[in-house]
Amino acid sequence: MEKQILVTRSSMPEFEEYIEEIRPVFESRWLSNMGKKHMTLIEELKQYLGVEKLDLFTNGHMALELSLDALNLSGEIITTPFTFISTTHAIVRNGLTPVFCDIDPLTCTIDADQIESLITEKTSAIMPVHVYGNVCDVEKIEAIAKKHNLKVIYDAAHAFGVTYKGKGIGNFGDVSCYSFHATKVFHTIEGGAAVYHDDEVGKRLWMLKDFGIQDEETIDLVGPNAKMNEFCAAMGLCNLRHVDGEIAKRKKAAERYRKNLSGITGLRLNCVQKDVNTNSAYFPVFFDPAVFGSDRNEVQAELKEHGIFARKYFYPCVNACGAYRKSYDPDDTPVAQEYSRQVLTLPMFADLTEEEVDRISEVILSCRK
């Protein structure tokens, strides 16, 4: 039987490297509450991402949810339905109303040309999402936000290490939030971060993630426990040493996929953006069954028969999910709806070999009719 190929595989440091990194944690017994590993990781991430202010959280979702809270927003937030459910949940759990904007057919990010038509007197912010390592139209979004006095919170879960015109993607917007989940390009097992630019927002984030505690006797905010522990921070410090090499390996796998699948009628591959240095976070393929001959579901099933696991990411659209279906019509965002029905993200991780990419590609091409 052929070896299984999962949709992703976590990058890990050598066991001994991690043991040495956590040794001081064992010796000190300081396991959480912003210890030395936590504080060191903040500084090293700021340097790597090219940003000035950053805070860590227990996961990317809490970074999003607490960033919205820290900005004191109200009313409506314009966002995209072509994203992981966390983006929208963060809005709703803050008592805010998501307003869904369709996506750009090239990048799968929010269609900046449609944002202004959705702005009302209730709009307080825009929450775009960098998708698959593709970058939103940050310049147009910034212009719209300034014109209408809106905040911008980027969900940058897919964009770790991505730069635009040589500038770290976290420098755009009022806040950019990263996920450091085990499946991401860079991970801390579980974790997340928020890059911010306003010191007052930073102070609120610091307190919010620790129950709203300001000092031993002062608790002025209502917040959860969203602190990153020392073991996760230690994993992050290890992985950060190797992340450039891991991204380079991913790019090699992506190039092999492109060599095998480019120019096939009925297949659309992820775009290559000008001025963007991406991270090859994912490799999405969009299947047009009328042309290719098989739909996305049939291709996924055939891959599974060969021990290869691909993911419908993102499906369904957020506005088609049960939690939101009664309040929204996914047909109001037709591009996002169509793409969610066509997309299959293929296996992508640093250790994926060219031979494995060739095997995956052969199965896909065998589905042509």
Report the 10 Å Cβ neighbour count for 254.
24
pLDDT at residue 178 is higher than 90: yes
pLDDT at 1: 63
Please state, in angstroms and rounded to a whole number, the distance separating the CA atoms of residues 186 and 190: 10
Confidence of residue 285 (pLDDT cuts 50, 70, 90): very high
Please state, in angstroms and rounded to a whole number, the distance separating the CA atoms of residues 189 and 11: 10
Please state, in angstroms and rounded to a whole number, the distance separating the CA atoms of residues 302 and 309: 10
pLDDT at 2: 78
Q: Given strand 343-346, what is the order of strands in its sheet?
A: 267-269, 283-287, 343-346
Closest CA to 75 of 98, 106, 93: 98
Distances (CA, A) of 171 to 83, 159, 212, 226, 268: 21, 12, 26, 23, 30
**If you search the block for the tokens 């096939």, which residue do you land on?**
264
Quick one: residue 153, left, alpha or beta (phi over 0 = left, psi -120 to 50 = alpha)? beta
Distances (CA, A) of 173 to 111, 129, 198, 266, 368: 16, 11, 11, 36, 43
pLDDT at residue 358 is higher than 80: yes
| Continuous segment of H or E residues that includes residue 302 | helix 296-305
Q: What is the mean pLDDT of residues 27-46?
A: 98
Q: What is the mean pLDDT of residues 6-10?
A: 97
Cβ contacts of residue 259 below 8 Å, gap of 6+? Answer: none
∠ CA 41-44-48, nearest 5°, is 130
Q: What is the mean pLDDT of residues 122-138?
A: 98
* Per-residue pLDDT tens over the stretch 206-258: 999 999 999 999 999 999 999 999 999 999 999 999 999 999 999 999 999 99
Please state, in angstroms and rounded to a whole number, the distance separating the CA atoms of residues 127 and 142: 12
Instruction: Give the percent of the chain with pLDDT over 90.
Output: 99
Write down all domains in the chain, each with its CATH number in brackets.
15-101+108-237 (3.40.640.10), 242-366 (3.90.1150.10)
Q: What is the mean pLDDT of residues 132-143?
A: 98
HSE, side-chain direction, 13 A CA sphere, residue 272 = 5
∠ CA 148-149-152, nearest 5°, is 100
pLDDT at 190: 98
**Helix, strand, or coil here: 129?**
strand
∠ CA 68-185-61, nearest 5°, is 20
Distances (CA, A) of 192 to 29, 226, 228, 244: 23, 10, 8, 19
Closest CA to 118 of 64, 173, 81: 81
Instruction: Give the percent of the chain with pLDDT over 70.
Output: 100
pTM confidence score = 0.97
Residue 345 tokens, joined: 């993200």
pLDDT at 4: 97
Residue 177: what are its φ and ψ, rounded to 5°? -115, 130
Cα dihedral 267→336→80→196 (10° resolution): 0
Q: Given strand 276-277, what is the order of strands in its sheet?
A: 167-168, 163-164, 276-277
Burial of 146 (0-12, 13-18, 19+ CB in 10 A): exposed
